[in-house]
Structures are given as structure tokens and as C-alpha cells.
Structure 1
Amino acid sequence: MTVAPPRPTERRTQAERSESMRQKLIEATLDCLVTDGYVGLTIGKVTERAGVSRGAPLHHFSSKSGLMEAAAREVVRRVSAKLVLAYEHSKDAPDPLEAFGLELWKTVFSAQEGILLGELTYASRREPEIHAIVQRLWTRIYITARRSAARYLGDVHPDLPPERVMFLSQWLMRGMAQDLHLGAPPELFEAYLKMWRRSLGGRSDVSSNSPEPGKFP
């Protein structure tokens, strides 16, 4: 009986291996930003986290700023995707704006993406190259937010276009995210988000059942 020779193992192309290595470095950079912050991020920590040789980043990225720009693009991709999911999740809710705000808070600003946005924005204050990266990052996010707001939210306030409501809301949540590490309970942040929604008006219960800040958890 003739035994068929084993089929050769399918090998990845050089381009596939290169892209896989690139993604490992980007993911490791994001992890280091979360755990160590931008100030504590080093090429050595990134390569250790990625489990690759120390020369790998230089082969795939020309500098630390190049690595940071690729990481920032990944953050934009993640946030943009979650923005769309948040709108899809909330568009058929009884109050789409409140549902959207709570979903965005839970999935972006109080999640890993919120930490990453905060670290990148903080670094941009003193690093010119990072400043340019973050400026492009937020421009991309604003464009996505404006398009999604116009599509899903419609007129939520008589004096504010939907994209401005979106911008004001995300600025509020970015500020709230700065206090997350202090240990306030999630109910506190959600209560203030609901108060923010009521302050925008457009519902019959705008002035009713408004919790008093002193009675928050």
C-alpha cells in the first residue's frame, strides 16, 4: 500500500509575516500606553510586551513617533467603529440621545479607548510630533461623529445642531474619564450623564426626577 506523502505546510508570505509583526507591535504599544502611560512607554517595553526582538520596531517603524502614529490610527479605527455601534444600538431607543450617551460612555470613554485617548492627548501637550498625530486623530473622530450624528440623532435640541450636541457630550465625557481612577462608583457618572441629557431638553420629563448632586452616591 502506497502512503501519500504529507502535504506541505502552507507558509505565510513575507508580506503577511511583516503585517503580523506590525500588528503585534501596535497592540503592544497600546497595552503599554494603558499600563505605563506615554511617559513610561519605551521601545524596550513594547518589544518585551510583543515578544519580539529589540530591532523589530526599527524595521517596521522609522521612529517612536512612527510607532505612536500607527497606534493612534488603530485608536481612531476602534473609536470610529464603536461610535457607529453606539448609534446603531441607540437609534430605536425611546430616548436615542440618552441611550447613545450612556453607550458611548460605557464602551469608549470609561473603557480602554478612553485611557488611550487621554494618554495621547496628554502627550500632545509637550511633544510636537505627537501633537500633529493627535490633531489628525481627533479630526477623524469629529468627522465620523458629525456624519453619524446627522444620520441617527436628527434634531435633539432646538438651538443646537446634532453634531454640536455630540461634540459637547464627548467633551463632557472626556473630562469625566479623567476622574475614573479616583474610584467613584459607575452610578455617579451615569447619573450626571442623565442630568446632562435632561439639561438639553426635548423631552416631557426635562424638569422632573432630576437627582440632586448632593444625593448622588
Structure 2
Amino acid sequence: MIEMPPMISPAPRRTQAERSEAMREKLIGATLDCLVTEGYVGLTIGKIVERAEVSRGAPLHHFSTKAALIEAAAGEVVRRVSRKLALAFERSKNAPDPLEAFALAAWRDIFTAQEGVLLSELTYASRREPELGAIVRRLWTRMYRVMSRVAVRYVHSQDPTVPPGRVIFLTQWLMRGMAQDFPLGAPPELFEAYLKLWRRVLGSAIQS
């Protein structure tokens, strides 16, 4: 007798809500990719549609305006950065110098990665785009709240006039400035050496 192969059940059909969410994620991912490759100035619905390989009307079906799509993309940036910040802290907390280890991890995994490019691009473009400026302010407000919660947990200042959150804010401002020069071609080791110098400047006043 010839054995019949086992019947394979067809994959369950996705619901309309699942298809809609998948399309939203595809459009957001394409928007972020275009922001990296084209910059905000070169970002158009046409390029997003081409990158996402969807119909021309797909973005407006899921987002009422281009600004709504940009805000959703900015929210995704915050989520990615928040995850990476949390991971950097978890990986660094048992290091000989946790604060230095965190700064180096954040520099490598966020500020010189795609997320750093996105943060820089959106922030720079917001100077001349009031609508984008409002989106970016909300983005950084959410970022600062995340960093404040993490700072209280991991950074302990010996000086009561230096709250832990401000140490983290100063560190990320330093890295944001450094990230502007990173594409100019200086050796990566130079930037990391300056981050280690920053940690020494903080000195024993900060424990982590």
C-alpha cells in the first residue's frame, strides 16, 4: 500500500485587526529606513510606499496624515531606545565600573547605531518644522522619563545637589554631540577614550 502523506492544516487566516497592525508596522519600518537613507528633507510618501512595497493609498488608510505616520515612527524609536537603555543597564550593573560600562554600551548600541541617526535626524529637522518640533519634544520627554527612572535605580551621587537623572542627562547630551562628529571619520577608539575621560571627570562623586 502506498502511504498517503499526512494532511497539513492550512495556516489560520489573520484577522482584519492583525492585518492592519502588520501594515502599520511595515509602514513605520519603511519610514524609519527612509529617514536613515534619505533624511527628513528627502522623506516622501512615495519613497515610503516604494520601500514598504505597498499601494499608494496604504499610508493614508492607516495614518490620517504624514505627521501621524512620523509620530508613530518616533514612538517606535523611543521603544527601541528604551529597550536598548534597559539592556545596557542590565549588562553593565555587575561591571567593575557600571557607569562607564553603561556609557560605552549606550554609545555603541544607540548613538552610533540606527537609533542615533534617527534621533539626530528628527531633532535637527524639527528646528524648521513646527509640527515635527512638537512630535520631537514629546519624543524627548518620553526619553527623559525613561532615563530618569533608570538613573534613580543605578546611579548614586555623593553630592545631594547632583541628582542622578542629571548625571545621565549630561552623559547623553555629551554623546549626542559626539555623534554629530562620528561620521567624519575619526577612529572609534577616540570617541570611547573621551567617554572614559568623562567618567574620570565625574570622579568619586558618582557611584553606580
Q: TM-score range by the shorter chain?
A: over 0.9
Instruction: Give matches, 1:8-27, under 5 Å.
Output: 8-27=10-29
Deviations 1:105-140 (A, max 9, x none): 011111110000001101211111111111011001
Shift of 1:41: 0.6
Q: CA RMSD in A?
A: 1.8
Aligned: 1:33 with 2:27: no
- Give the equivalent residue in structure 1 for 2:82: 80
Which residue identity does 2:55 align to in structure 1?
A: S
Q: Per the alignment, do residues 125 and 156 of structure 1 end up closer, same or farther by CA in structure 2, a change over 3 Å counting?
A: farther
Segments of 5+ residues of structure 1 without an aligned counterpart are 204-217
| Equivalent residue runs for 1:1-217 within 5 Å | 7-155=9-157, 159-202=161-204
- Cα separation, 2, equivalents of 1:156 and 1:33: 42
Counterparts in 2 of 1:187 and 1:15: CA distance versus 1, 3 Å: same
CA displacement, residues 2-24 of structure 1 (integer Å, 9 cap, x when unaligned): 99976444110111111001000
Task: State how far apart, in whole Å, the 2-side matches of 1:112 and 1:63 are.
Answer: 24
Q: Which has the higher contact order (CA 8 A, sep 6+)?
A: 2
CA contact (8 A) 1:157 1:201 kept: no
Relative distance call for 1:159 and 1:58 in structure 2 (3 A) is: same
Distance 1:172 1:2, change over 3 A: closer
Q: Distance in 2 between matches of 1:166 and 1:2?
A: 64
Q: How many residues align?
A: 203
The DSSP-based 3-state class of the residue aligned with 2:192 is helix
CA contact (8 A) 1:120 1:134 kept: yes
- 1:78-127 alpha-carbon deviations (Å, 9 max, x no partner): 01111111111111111111111101101111111000000110121111
Structure 2, unaligned runs of 5 or more: none
- 85-94 or 35-44, larger mean C-alpha shift: 85-94
- Which residue in 2 is equivalent to 1:206? none
CA contact (8 A) 1:91 1:153 kept: no
Q: Deviations over 1:144-192 (max 9, x none)?
A: 1011011012226665221111000000000010111111111010011
Q: Once the two structures are aligned, what percentage of the paired residues are identical?
A: 70
Moved over 4 A (4+): 1-6, 156-159
Q: Take 1:87 and 1:7, find their aligned partners in 2: how far apart are those partners? A: 44
